[in-house]
Structure 1
Amino acid sequence: MVDDGIFRSGLPDAANFRFLLSLNLRSIVYLCPEPYAEENARFLRTNGIRLHQFAVEGSKSGPTVLDTMSAQEPFVHIPEETIREALKVVLDVRNQLVLIHCKRGKHRTGCVVGCLRKLQKWCLSSVFDEYLHFAAAKARTTDQRFMELFDASSLMHLTAASQY
């Protein structure tokens, strides 16, 4: 659970459907460019859960915390406008209870949740601590840099309409 009405995970499969039903979800925010698995899409249709897909490319070649000593660190592009649009869906109370997920629930999901935390006025060290909790040894400095530089001010008006 990220907060009241907001959950996070990796890509659910059939074994998770019963649990997802217990959450009484209204919406899912899916952060991958690949089409949603047909079995999952059928589950959502059957249970009246809306799917909001945002095509954020993953990058297995992105740098990890262990790569920070390298001067050749590649830049992983994280589309700020796409993250902003995903946050609009997450913050809209009409979409809650909402589950945010990508494939593993680490990088793309971590960036969205980290930017949400900035909207909630968390200090940056706490944002990073939470990100590292989920990403562990796979943490990417580019994700952390993205969260640090993310300008949450353009979404602050949405927080007045939600509980934040």
Structure 2
Amino acid sequence: MLPPLIPPFRYAIVEGEVYRGAYPKSRNLRFLKRLHLKTILSLCPNPPAGDLVDFCKEYNIKNITLQVNKVKDNVPLSYSKAIQAIQIIIDPENQPIYVHCLDGANVTGLVIACLRKLQMWSVPSAMGEFLRFLRGGVISSEENEFVEKFSAEIEIPCTIPTWLWGGRVDFVKHPTLKLKFLDPGIVQKTTKKPVGGVGEGDRDLLGNLLEPPANVTTEYREVDVIEEEEPEAVSMTVLALALEGLKD
């Protein structure tokens, strides 16, 4: 009989092929195997060891460790580490990816909250999700301020995952972050519409609809017309004789 599938503590799906949770224990590895992971991102004071390292080697999983020191001023994460983590997460080459800290709460939660800002979530929405994974159910003012003031420059990969802005860039400027596109060609030019008016793109469309098409040749095909023959005139005398015959 196979052992049960046990997910890591505080396991959850963030987006598509992005997962989060606590440090995986031996009993969680069979569950993680089913995710077909390419990367495990460890946000811990020390690199992983033991069964987790062997698991990564056996299944050719890339293990990236960002050293996160103990809690300082109630914020266990620096902005530089948050930026590094986000850029690792949004790179499709690293997905499917499992992101974890020791307990799957504060450190992982702050990284995901900053990721949500990149996705254009509001801070209250991001912190509402953050709160769901806290053991005490209380967000410190320092943690809330950390997410509010997160306004770094993020490098956007040449291929954008579909869960990030629908996989395309159709906005002029990000509301809170500075973005650096490794492939500037993925930025789609957008035309702003004046309030109460018609944008340039709409004018072009209307022009195409209203203007008569050029160089259109109308063909007229000859159709054979069959003229019906008029019935021959019947002599009134012949008709009268026929009626007389009927009376007899």
TM interval, shorter chain, is 0.7 to 0.9
- The count of residues paired between Structure 1 and Structure 2 equals 150
| 2:123 pairs with 1:111 | no
Larger radius of gyration: 2
Partner of residue 34, structure 1: 46
* 1:25 aligned partner: 37
Q: Which runs of 5+ in 1 are unaligned?
A: 63-73
Identity %: 29
CA-CA distance at 1:147 after TM superposition:
1.1
Counterpart in the other structure of 1:45: 57
- Normalised by the length of structure 2, the TM-score is 0.57
Instruction: State the alpha-carbon separation in 1 of the partners of residues 109 and 82 from structure 2.
Output: 11
CA contact (8 A) 1:58 1:108 kept: no
- Moved >4 Å (runs of 4+): none
SS at match of 2:121: coil
**What RMSD over aligned residues (CA atoms) do the two structures have, in Å?**
1.9
Q: Check the 8 A contact 1:100/1:109 in 2, yes or no.
A: yes
**Contact 1:91 1:159 (8 Å CA) reproduced:** no
Q: For the structure 1 residues 157 and 39, does the alpha-carbon distance in structure 2 shift closer, same or farther, using more than 3 Å as the test?
A: closer
Instruction: Flag the structure with more relative contact order, 1 or 2, with Cα contacts below 8 A and sequence separation at least 6.
Output: 1
Deviation at 1:35, TM superposition (A): 2.4
> Structure 2, unaligned stretches of length 5 or more?
1-12, 165-248
Pairwise CA distance, 1:136: 4.2
- Aligned partner of 2:144 in structure 1 is 144
> TM-score, normalization: structure 1?
0.84
Q: Quick check: 1:107–1:139 contact (8 Å CA) kept in 2?
A: no
Deviation at 1:156, TM superposition (A): 6.4
Structure with bigger helix share is 1
The aligned residue for residue 179 of structure 2 is none
**In 2, Cα distance between the equivalents of 1:76 and 1:116?**
17
